[in-house]
Structure 1
Amino acid sequence: MNTSQPILAVKDLRVRFRTLDGQVDAVKGINLHVNAGETVAIVGESGSGKSQTMMAAMSLLASNGEATGAVDYRGRNLLGLDKSALNDVRGRKITMIFQEPMTSLDPLYTIGNQLMEPIRRHRKLGKTEARKEALRLLELVKIPDPERRLKSYPYEMSGGQRQRVMIAMALANDPDILIADEPTTALDVTVQAQILTLLAELQRKFGMAIVFITHDLGIVRRFADRVYVMRYGEIVEEGVTDALFSAPAHPYTKMLLAAEPTGRKAAPPTGAPVLLEGRNVEVSFKIGGGFLAGPPLFLKAVDRISLALKRGQTIGIVGESGSGKSTLGRALLRLLPSEGSIRFGAREISGVSREAMRPLRRELQLVFQDPFGSLSPRMTIGQVITEGLLVHEPSLSSKQRDARAVEALLEVGLDPNMRNRYAHEFSGGQRQRIAIARAMILKPKVVVLDEPTSALDRSVQKQIVDLLRKLQADHDLSYLFISHDLAVVRAMADYIIVMKQGQIVEEGLTDDIFDNPRETYTQTLMAAAIDVKKFRIAS
């Protein structure tokens, strides 16, 4: 339903932030427009200004931010409207959904109450009518058992269901424009495909325009009519999607399109020793129970799984959210209580005490998905990296620890002169390098990497994958690589385990699993992953 009639026009938009280090120019005089019924993508790396562009258009900048220029919506400059007039537009005619719905939904209110609020605010409906409309919206976005879900709280729903609720809220008042800011980045491939298909269906049904803010070029190629490429607060290239992907003009656009992780991991030598082995590993969690609630129920998150990780090998563990892959990784590191046998080298570690495990921790390391959440905000990066040395090498002097920090930072490609800064002063990719340096400084033998690239831009993902490969080759490391990003897994792993509901449904060599999956579930995962290989161009 692309009428080629602009309904939103951004003209010479500039966004500035006042900081202790002076003025930061986040957006530098850009121009863009959105036509009725079309899908426009704004792409670029973190810090390019793409999200701040739309936040400024909605007058949702932080208190230290300022926007100038014009944001014309149907003849009205949104930057010049007072709060009352703005609220007649945003949340009604221009709505927005974000990357992580759990932070956008109030944990203290039911889904029904949160859906009813914008309906009653903008459409002046009574409580009974608003509830009926909320129920209709949940049905529209295909939430199972919508009557019951009206009474649910956000924590009782999966990530995909919460994102569907956010879409329902955005559609509550028949908007002209839906702004989707990285709406699928945190979701696994099957849920991602479902959400994108849903948005496409709803767009056809309601004729609304969609602005996609994303770093995932596979999504852009599949869904967008036109693309704006941003870098350092400026638009460096724009055009119709097919033409831009087929013949990009700007070197930065070419770099983004070529940033997909490539290459294949060779299998370890036939006689390589097994470093970490699990046999019939089980992990169960207690659900409910109590004095008045009756006997407890137990959820079996990992159900009799066996694997053997060899020296120099990378085993990729894939599956949807809730399949048990992260739980399995933590159980193998003895970070969760489990049943079955776990061996590290020749030693059985499944029954050893916490104190007995401590000397082994330096050889069994873990890198998390969100480095910002795992790095202490009160410690400098140098202190964060060397914290483990205080436990495992207490005889080192502070000067020796600092020298090891310099060595670790150089190894992960960071300037050691930055070691006195704090975590918030680094980008997402830099923080992940810091998290890797913290693990590597202890010279481990096995590293469990739990979604280490899922929150990063494609270009940064490629850098981290290349770094992990180099570290593995230099130190003969063994990795357990847990991820829902199949393109990254294929580039990293030589062996794949596919998990569903706590069990292994298929396993084998990487190329065999990707090229000839036997099980229906594996085939579904592969089909749901957007194949960005065909979007790659010659540099």
Structure 2
Amino acid sequence: MAGGDPILAVRDLRVRFRTLDGVVEAVKGVNLQVNAGETVAIVGESGSGKSQTMMAAMSLLASNGSATGAVDYRGRNLLELSKRELNRIRGSRISMIFQEPMTSLDPLYSIGSQLMEPIRRHRKLGAKEARAEAIRLLDLVRIPDPQRRFKSYPYELSGGQRQRVMIAMALANNPDILIADEPTTALDVTVQAQILTLLAELQQKLGMAIVFITHDLGIVRRFADRVYVMRAGEVMEEGETEQIFAEPRHSYTKMLLAAEPSGRKEPPPNGFPVILEGRNVEVTFSIGGGFLSGPPMILRAVDKVSLALRQQQTIGIVGESGSGKSTLGRALLRLLPSEGVVWLGVKDISKADREAMRPLRRQLQLVFQDPFGSLSPRMTVGQIVTEGLLVHEPALSRAERDRRAAEALQEVGLDPAMRNRYPHEFSGGQRQRIAIARAMILKPRVVVLDEPTSALDRSVQKQIVELLRNLQSAYELSYLFISHDLAVVRAMADYIIVMRQGRVVEQGLTDDIFDNPREEYTRTLMAAAVDAKRFRLGKLEPVEQRK
């Protein structure tokens, strides 16, 4: 741990949000400090106030939020600075990496133009120099072929590559402090390890301090010098990382260390009908190309994949970032062009156009990875949950829609009285429950769950898994469960498809895939998951100690 005087000191920080239901106190008198060159982790469940603590420090709270107390950066209280003074510090001396890079990067601008913006703003470089610096940064964070990727758009990059771009943007002006808010939760275990290694190397090279906000205690143990454990807006425990893991004092910390989705799902009886079937599904994308650059490169994102999903079955689709698992899910829902045949029950929907698919949409629902990005910030929760009813049951009265919204929220474990609030007033776990309620209110037959727990802490993951199981049993639902988190997949799925580079590597019953994987790639994934679990539970030494 680096010593010396703190470069960032938070004292008696309180964060409040004005809502229709009154004032909500999200952070309650937090004190913490960050010394030069060290890594401080802030951990806790969804809604514990860990992200809001740092959002307040950066004066990035939502418009209905306010902060009191002090956030001293090198002797200046950031809460008292004007917007102009703050802008000289934000993005320059203190930078932030946000949880979901796809919602942080502008889809309309190339990676290069977005990287050049903070460089030109803070360092006053010309276009040519800024371009050269942007390419250097892409190379620094190990983006392959940085000259070409400079011209790429966010959708052309994998999740891990987008996160590397966000790191490059945050490092553009050599900050003193890098705040990383859940920077690896949406990434598979192998890419997580790459990002953490990269951050550690960059920290050593640049001498910056890192504030690491996360719910993943395995990552904390690998990466942090000190830890603050938060719950309900307060710090429950703090200390050196090894001390927190070896001898946690607070019962809440002990609970976090022990939380893990558990149980097994039994497969449905053989006689249950197939609800959704894909045969030789293929999805290709054309990248680049033009008069001067030659023909475009064809990316085969999904390469002749077949599957059959039965009533009340859960098929888990696993694989690294960029393996094609999310693209396959969208192709089966007819949300993007594909080749091959897709059946919904006995109906061939392969060539169904938008108009023909519209009445079928209520049977095919999708829950996204990032609920904050998929929930409109301008709509109340009640309006979000009942949005589908306006399309599929337009004759319903406003009072009936409101009643159905209250029922749906209660069904997913939320207080119906919260339906007049807005998404930003909820924690990540609560927002995911809202997204599930929006899908379930239409009583679908098939739900595609695209990384629905990746942004959630282990204890909340466990709750969401139990919720999804209960809903599946109550309504005989069929799930396609897309995830890189193998612990959650094992608790949810009765059948698994392993994908790599658009192809199916291996498939079979869940226990067979986990206990007796046949392919080397599957064995590598399983070994990484076991390593991560053993490390989190303190049964495996840090990598650098094992060398």
Q: Structure 1 length normalisation: TM-score?
A: 0.84
Per the alignment, residue 217 of structure 1 pairs with: 217
Per the alignment, residue 38 of structure 1 pairs with: 38
- 1:36·1:208 contact (CA, 8 Å) conserved in 2? yes
1:329-348 to structure 2, matched below 5 A, reads 329-348=329-348
- 1:26·1:52 contact (CA, 8 Å) conserved in 2? yes
Distance 1:208 1:252 in 2: 31
Higher mean C-alpha deviation, range 239-248 or range 337-346: 337-346
What whole-Å deviation, never above 9, does each CA across 1:245-290 have from its counterpart, x for those lacking one? 3333323323333332122222333444433322222234456789
- 2:29·2:234 contact (CA, 8 Å) conserved in 1? yes
Q: 1:58 to 1:304 in 2, by over 3 A?
A: closer
Per the alignment, residue 465 of structure 1 pairs with: 465
Deviation at residue 325 of structure 1 after TM alignment: 1.9
Bigger-Rg structure (1/2): 1
Deviation at residue 337 of structure 1 after TM alignment: 4.3
Q: 1:80 to 1:531 in 2, by over 3 A?
A: same
Higher mean C-alpha deviation, range 371-380 or range 486-495: 371-380
Per the alignment, residue 532 of structure 2 pairs with: 531
SS of 2:268's equivalent in the other structure is coil
SS of 1:26's equivalent in the other structure is strand
Distance 1:90 1:377 in 2: 24
Higher mean C-alpha deviation, range 499-508 or range 325-334: 325-334
What whole-Å deviation, never above 9, does each CA across 1:73-97 have from its counterpart, x for those lacking one? 4445444556676566544443322
Deviation at residue 492 of structure 1 after TM alignment: 0.7
Distance 1:147 1:353 in 2: 39
Amino acid at match of 2:536: F
Distance 2:322 2:16 in 1: 41
Q: 1:124 to 1:252 in 2, by over 3 A?
A: same
Higher mean C-alpha deviation, range 390-399 or range 230-239: 390-399
Per the alignment, residue 317 of structure 2 pairs with: 317
Deviation at residue 412 of structure 1 after TM alignment: 2.3
SS of 2:437's equivalent in the other structure is helix
1:163-202 to structure 2, matched below 5 A, reads 163-202=163-202
Per the alignment, residue 267 of structure 1 pairs with: 267
Per the alignment, residue 96 of structure 2 pairs with: 96
Q: 1:320 to 1:393 in 2, by over 3 A?
A: same
Per the alignment, residue 57 of structure 1 pairs with: 57
Q: 1:238 to 1:335 in 2, by over 3 A?
A: same
SS of 2:210's equivalent in the other structure is strand
Per the alignment, residue 304 of structure 1 pairs with: 304
Amino acid at match of 1:473: S
Amino acid at match of 1:506: E
Deviation at residue 496 of structure 1 after TM alignment: 1.1
Distance 2:450 2:441 in 1: 18
- 1:412·1:433 contact (CA, 8 Å) conserved in 2? yes
- 1:217·1:532 contact (CA, 8 Å) conserved in 2? no
Q: Note the aligned Cα RMSD (angstroms).
A: 3.8
What whole-Å deviation, never above 9, does each CA across 1:178-213 have from its counterpart, x for those lacking one? 221222233333332211110012223333321101
**2:418 is the alignment partner of 1:411:** no
What whole-Å deviation, never above 9, does each CA across 1:366-414 have from its counterpart, x for those lacking one? 3333445555667665565556567666787777666655544433223
**2:233 is the alignment partner of 1:236:** no
Q: 1:225 to 1:117 in 2, by over 3 A?
A: same
Per the alignment, residue 279 of structure 2 pairs with: 279
SS of 1:69's equivalent in the other structure is strand
What whole-Å deviation, never above 9, does each CA across 1:208-254 have from its counterpart, x for those lacking one? 32110112222112211211012232211112222223333323323
Amino acid at match of 1:414: L
Per the alignment, residue 226 of structure 1 pairs with: 226
1:431-510 to structure 2, matched below 5 A, reads 431-510=431-510
Q: 1:344 to 1:456 in 2, by over 3 A?
A: same
What whole-Å deviation, never above 9, does each CA across 1:445-500 have from its counterpart, x for those lacking one? 33222222233343322211111111222333221111222222121112111122
**2:160 is the alignment partner of 1:160:** yes
Distance 1:127 1:444 in 2: 52
Q: 1:24 to 1:273 in 2, by over 3 A?
A: closer
The answer for unaligned runs of 5 or more in structure 2 is 539-547
Distance 1:82 1:43 in 2: 30
SS of 2:99's equivalent in the other structure is coil
Amino acid at match of 2:144: P
1:74-93 to structure 2, matched below 5 A, reads 74-79=74-79, 89-93=89-93
The answer for unaligned runs of 5 or more in structure 1 is none
Distance 1:310 1:475 in 2: 14
Q: 1:318 to 1:125 in 2, by over 3 A?
A: same
- 2:313·2:478 contact (CA, 8 Å) conserved in 1? yes
SS of 1:96's equivalent in the other structure is strand
SS of 1:278's equivalent in the other structure is strand
- 2:103·2:373 contact (CA, 8 Å) conserved in 1? no
Deviation at residue 16 of structure 1 after TM alignment: 4.3
- 2:17·2:64 contact (CA, 8 Å) conserved in 1? yes
SS of 2:283's equivalent in the other structure is strand
- 1:193·1:528 contact (CA, 8 Å) conserved in 2? no
- 1:375·1:435 contact (CA, 8 Å) conserved in 2? yes
Amino acid at match of 2:52: Q
Distance 2:142 2:79 in 1: 36
Amino acid at match of 1:13: L
Q: Structure 2 length normalisation: TM-score?
A: 0.83
Q: 1:36 to 1:396 in 2, by over 3 A?
A: closer
Per the alignment, residue 28 of structure 1 pairs with: 28
Deviation at residue 434 of structure 1 after TM alignment: 3.5
Deviation at residue 31 of structure 1 after TM alignment: 1.6
Deviation at residue 5 of structure 1 after TM alignment: 5.1
- 2:47·2:426 contact (CA, 8 Å) conserved in 1? no
Amino acid at match of 1:210: I
Q: 1:131 to 1:504 in 2, by over 3 A?
A: same
- 2:6·2:34 contact (CA, 8 Å) conserved in 1? yes
Per the alignment, residue 542 of structure 2 pairs with: none
Instruction: Work out the number of aligned pairs and report it.
Output: 537
Amino acid at match of 2:533: V
